[in-house]
């Protein structure tokens, strides 16, 4: 019988010990919750999401000469998108496409009447692929091929090419 009372005392002691640990843990959790919610209840302004500019006037781009790439605002981020330059009458004079600050894709130049003057293709700043040159009335003057910046072949050359090339 004495043993039974002793076991009961130990059991009650352990229960009390566990209860104090639970109470301590819940108290700490409660205070963390209260402190975390206390403070400035004013709604905070969200930082504006910076949208990437994918179209601009070519005059707005800067050249990072060290890395040989164009950027719009941040020199560490090369510009990806399209830019245009304009004639005084606001017609497009030239349109360039960029990827990571390098000219990539078509580079188109126009006459003042809106007719395409020439179209070149670039692969990360190196002229690659077709190059076509047109007269002001839209006739093809020259069709050449470039590979990685080097002229490799002429597909078509108008007999009057020299006359137009000197103008």
88 Cβ contact partners less than 8 Å away, ≥ 6 residues apart: none
Task: Report the share of the chain in percent with pLDDT over 70.
Answer: 69
Report the CATH number that the domain containing residue 125 is assigned in CATH. Answer: 3.90.930
The DSSP line for 33-89 is HHHHH-S--SPPPPPPPPPPP-EEEGGG-EEETTTTEEESS-TTS---EEEEEE-TT
CB 118 within 8 A of CB 132: yes
Query: How far is CA 109 from its chain centroid?
Result: 25
Q: What pLDDT does 48 receive?
A: 60
State residue 72 phi and psi, 5-degree precision.
Answer: -95, -55
Q: Is 18 contained in some domain?
A: no
Q: Is 149 contained in some domain?
A: yes
Q: Is 2 contained in some domain?
A: no
**pLDDT tens per residue, range 69-127:** 999 999 999 999 999 999 999 999 999 999 999 999 999 999 999 999 999 999 999 99
Q: Is 42 contained in some domain?
A: no
Quick one: tokens of 106? Answer: 């078509």
Q: Is 66 contained in some domain?
A: yes
**pLDDT tens per residue, range 118-132:** 999 999 999 999 999
Q: How many domains does the chain have?
A: 1
Q: pLDDT-derived band of residue 53, with 50, 70 and 90 as boundaries?
A: confident
Tell which wins on pLDDT, 118 or 36: 118
Query: What residue has token string 């130049």?
Result: 109
Q: Is 45 contained in some domain?
A: no
Q: Is 26 contained in some domain?
A: no
Q: pLDDT-derived band of residue 29, with 50, 70 and 90 as boundaries?
A: low
Structural domain that includes position 121: 55-165
pTM over 0.75: no
Q: Is 112 contained in some domain?
A: yes
Q: What pLDDT does 161 receive?
A: 87
Residue 140, sorted as left (phi over 0), alpha (psi -120 to 50) or beta, turns out to be beta
């Amino acid at each position: 019988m004495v043993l039974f009372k002793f076991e009961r005392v130990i059991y009650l002691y352990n229960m009390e010990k566990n209860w104090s640990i639970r109470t301590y843990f819940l108290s700490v959790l409660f205070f963390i919750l209260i402190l975390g919610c206390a403070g400035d209840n004013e709604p905070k302004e969200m930082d504006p999401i910076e949208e990437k500019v994918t179209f601009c006037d070519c005059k707005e781009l800067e050249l990072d000469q060290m890395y040989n790439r164009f950027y719009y605002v941040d020199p560490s981020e090369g510009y990806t998108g399209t830019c245009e330059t304009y004639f005084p009458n606001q017609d497009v004079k030239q349109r360039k496409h960029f990827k990571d600050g390098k000219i990539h894709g078509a580079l188109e130049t126009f006459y003042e009447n809106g007719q395409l003057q020439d179209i070149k293709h670039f692969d990360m700043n190196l002229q690659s692929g077709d190059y076509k040159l047109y007269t002001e009335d839209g006739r093809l003057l020259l069709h050449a091929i470039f590979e990685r910046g080097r002229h490799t072949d002429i597909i078509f050359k108008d007999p009057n090419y020299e006359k137009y090339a000197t103008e």
